[in-house]
Amino acid sequence: MLIGPVALPNPLFVAPMAGVTDRPFRQLCKRLGAGYAVSEMITSKPELQGTAKTQRRRDHRGESAPIAVQIAGTEPLLMAEAARDNIAHGAQVIDINMGCPAKKVCNVWAGSALMRDETLALRIVEAVVTAAAPHNVPVTLKMRTGWCAQTRNAVKLAQGAEALGVAMVTVHGRTRDQGYKGHAEYETIRAVKAALRIPVAANGDIASPEKAREVLAATGADALMVGRAAQGRPWIFREIAHFLATGEHLAAPATLQVRDWLLEHLDEHYQLYGEYSGVRSARKHIGWYTAGLPGATLFRARMNTVDDTAEQHRLVQAYFDTLARDHALLPERGTGAAHDDDEPVAA
Residue range 14-28: average pLDDT? 94
104 and 138 share one domain = yes
Domain boundary among 246, 280, 298: 246
Per-residue pLDDT reduced to its tens digit, 174-202: 887 777 777 899 999 999 999 999 999 99
214 and 312 share one domain = no
Residue range 167-176: average pLDDT? 93
286 and 180 share one domain = no
Bigger pLDDT: 308 vs 177: 308
pLDDT at residue 142, rounded to an integer: 96
Query: Which domain CATH number covers 193?
Result: 3.20.20.70
In the structure, what pLDDT confidence band is assigned to residue 336 with cuts at 50, 70 and 90?
Answer: very low
Per-residue pLDDT reduced to its tens digit, 89-126: 999 999 999 866 554 443 444 566 788 889 999 999 99
Per-residue pLDDT reduced to its tens digit, 251-298: 999 999 999 999 999 999 999 999 999 999 999 999 999 999 999 999
209 and 325 share one domain = no
> Residues with Cβ < 8 Å from 188, sequence gap 6 or more?
145, 146, 152, 154, 155, 171, 173
Per-residue pLDDT reduced to its tens digit, 43-89: 888 777 778 788 888 888 889 999 999 999 989 999 999 999 999 99
265 HSE (CA, 13 A, CB side): 32
CA gap 281, 288 in Å, rounded? 12
Backbone angles phi, psi at 5, to 5 degrees: -85, 0
pTM of the predicted protein model = 0.90
In the structure, what pLDDT confidence band is assigned to residue 164 with cuts at 50, 70 and 90?
Answer: very high
pLDDT at residue 187, rounded to an integer: 96
236 and 310 share one domain = no
221-249 in b/e form (b: 16+ CB < 10 A) is bbbbbbbbbbbbbbbbbbbbbebbeeeee
Residue range 209-231: average pLDDT? 97
150 and 176 share one domain = yes
Is the residue at 347 inside a domain? no
CA gap 187, 297 in Å, rounded? 39
Cβ atoms of 183 and 212 closer than 8 Å? no
Tally of structural domains, the chain = 2
Residue range 113-140: average pLDDT? 94
Cβ atoms of 176 and 106 closer than 8 Å? yes
pLDDT at residue 115, rounded to an integer: 84
pLDDT at residue 149, rounded to an integer: 72
157 and 278 share one domain = no
pLDDT at residue 12, rounded to an integer: 98
Residue range 214-242: average pLDDT? 97
141 and 278 share one domain = no
Residue 236 DSSP symbol = H
> H helices of 223-308, where?
236-246, 255-290, 296-303
Please check the confidence at residue 209 and state whether its pLDDT lies above 90: yes
135 and 162 share one domain = yes
191 and 333 share one domain = no
Query: Which domain CATH number covers 322?
Result: 1.10.1200
In the structure, what pLDDT confidence band is assigned to residue 151 with cuts at 50, 70 and 90?
Answer: confident
204 and 314 share one domain = no
Domain boundary among 214, 246, 278: 246
In the structure, what pLDDT confidence band is assigned to residue 302 with cuts at 50, 70 and 90?
Answer: very high
194 and 105 share one domain = yes
Pairing state between β 2-3 and 6-7: antiparallel
Is the residue at 321 inside a domain? yes
State the chain's mean pLDDT as an integer. Answer: 90
pLDDT at residue 59, rounded to an integer: 83
Is the residue at 122 inside a domain? yes
Range of the domain at 179: 2-246
Q: Which residues are catalytic?
A: 100
